[in-house]
Amino acid sequence: MELISKLSTEQTNEQSANLDRLSALEIVTLINREDQTVALAVQQALPQIGAAVKAIAEALAKGGRLFYIGAGTSGRLGILDASECPPTFGTEATLVQGLIAGGDSALINALEGAEDDADAGAQDLRAANLTLLDVVVGIAASGRTPYVAGALTHAREIGAATIALSCNAPAEISQLADVAIEVVTGPEVLMGSTRLKAGTAQKMVLNMLSTASMVLNGKVYQNLMIDVKPTNIKLIDRATRILTMAADVDEDTAAAALKLADNRAKVALVMLKTGLGPQEAEARLQAVGGFVRRAIEG
């Protein structure tokens, strides 16, 4: 296993050598300047990110699930992205799941030792009843976290698709994945604090993985969250505004259609665009796999 001291994320950043001598404004200016390099680092990995999206989209289309698994900040970021999928894309809570070393308590309390247990990574996936239809994204800024390596190893053994996301190259977990995403963000402003640039890079990549795979699975119409679940006042308003824009109708018409469609924005949009009733609109959507554009165009 590669020595931690050799990892690029563990090196000293020359730009911040005098960090403890800077003013508040100088510190945040320096952090901001370093953050501007993250998007360019992500850009270098776009071919691999695209390949990962394709694998995820195909797995979801076949009835599989997406699992994010990591330790510490990496695990928390995975859980954050997973938890946003139901309200944003109308998915079931089990479709995209985040797992973290040490379990739910690690979301709030740092359980740093949990990341060293490779068997726990495999066991957490067994407990989630991982199957060969699923896809596992192992997230580790270092690229060498045993918990993540154990999870990816188990996933490969049962035939599930595997993706590794790291911020070092070459990363050890890359050898355990069908698709290896290595976003080399380099030394942090605060040496070794990978919740900074590395964490930002991971968040950016996870945004891409979930959003793009959901677009490819019919969860978006134009650039609108047409599968949004209107579960509170804000989201009901958002769904109504989406319908006004997508169907070019006024708010009252959109609200009435949404209510008639039992708050299912997809169904409401097909109704507004085709003149069908809710049952017929739902049937047409089901016939085309839930893709609104295909349902509208007949």
- List residues with catalytic annotation: 84, 115
How would you classify the pairing of strands 66-70 and 135-140?
parallel
C-alpha 177/C-alpha 51 separation (Å) is 12
- Classify burial at 77, counting beta carbons within 10 Å of its beta carbon; exposed 0-12, middle 13-18, buried 19 or more: buried
How would you classify the pairing of strands 96-100 and 135-140?
unpaired
C-alpha 136/C-alpha 286 separation (Å) is 27
Residue type, 208: M
Encoded tokens for 174? 């890359």
Indicate the SS3 state at residue 17.
Answer: coil
> Rounded to the nearest 5 degrees, what angle is found at the Cα of 23, between the Cα atoms of 20 and 28?
90
CB 2 within 8 A of CB 175: no
Encoded tokens for 225? 């969250």
Encoded tokens for 263? 């708050």
CB 9 within 8 A of CB 192: yes
CB atoms within 10 A of CB 266: 23
C-alpha 246, offset from chain centre? 26
Q: Extract the runs of DSSP E, i.e. beta strands, from 41-100.
A: 66-70, 96-100
**In this structure, what DSSP letter does residue 88 have?**
H
